[in-house]
Structure 1
Amino acid sequence: MTTTCRAGCGACCIAPSISPCPALPAGKAAGVRCPHLTDDIRCALFGRPERPAVCGGLRPGPEMCGDSAEEALATLSRWERETAPR
């Protein structure tokens, strides 16, 4: 089951790290708000070719998003820690 993005959430634009790419030449550290996240918590690159592939691969769903933005941020942050290189 998939859902739609929760308005005002943005957890998937904050929790994960993003490797360097044309839209983010220096990449993005985990836990840091993406510079392309607008003030109203929307992706300024959505639907554009320069949007990082990792972002396009994220699909909202109960396992990732939970019941709130806080739960989504906690889940994604945990996944980031669990998959980070050691």
Structure 2
Amino acid sequence: MPQGKPAGKVCIHLNEELLCELFGQADRPKVCSDFSFDTEVCGSSRTEALETLNWLEKNTAS
């Protein structure tokens, strides 16, 4: 996403199964490649992860 991904918007590179279509490719954004899974951030389910991400996006926007 050339201008960055707006908070609350799904990445345009996710497919119908919510998997990254750029995974493993050289043109995958560095921020995505550098992301490291952590249960403190992601929780134990997709729902928990999205709740945390939504909170972070709302509370850390510049």
Return the TM-score normalized by structure 2: 0.85
1:65 corresponds in structure 2 to 42
Question: Which segments of 5 or more consecutive residues in structure 1 lack a partner in the other structure?
Answer: 1-23
Residue identity opposite 1:35 in structure 2: I
Pair 1:52-2:29 in alignment:
yes
Deviations 1:16-74 (A, max 9, x none): xxxxxxxx223221111111101111100011111111111211111111121111001
Pairing 1:67-86 to 2, within 5 Å after superposition: 67-85=44-62
In structure 1, distance between residues paired with 2:8 and 2:58: 10
Opposite residue 78 of structure 1, the aligned amino acid is: W
Partner of 2:18: 41
CA RMSD of aligned residues (A): 1.2
Can you give the 5+ residue segments of structure 2 that lack an aligned partner in the other structure? Answer: none
Identity across aligned pairs (percent)?
45
2:23 maps to amino acid:
F
- In the alignment of these two chains, the number of paired residues is 62
The CA distance in 1 between the partners of 2:51 and 2:13, in whole Å, is 21
TM-score by length of 1: 0.64
Structure 1 or 2: more helix by fraction: 2
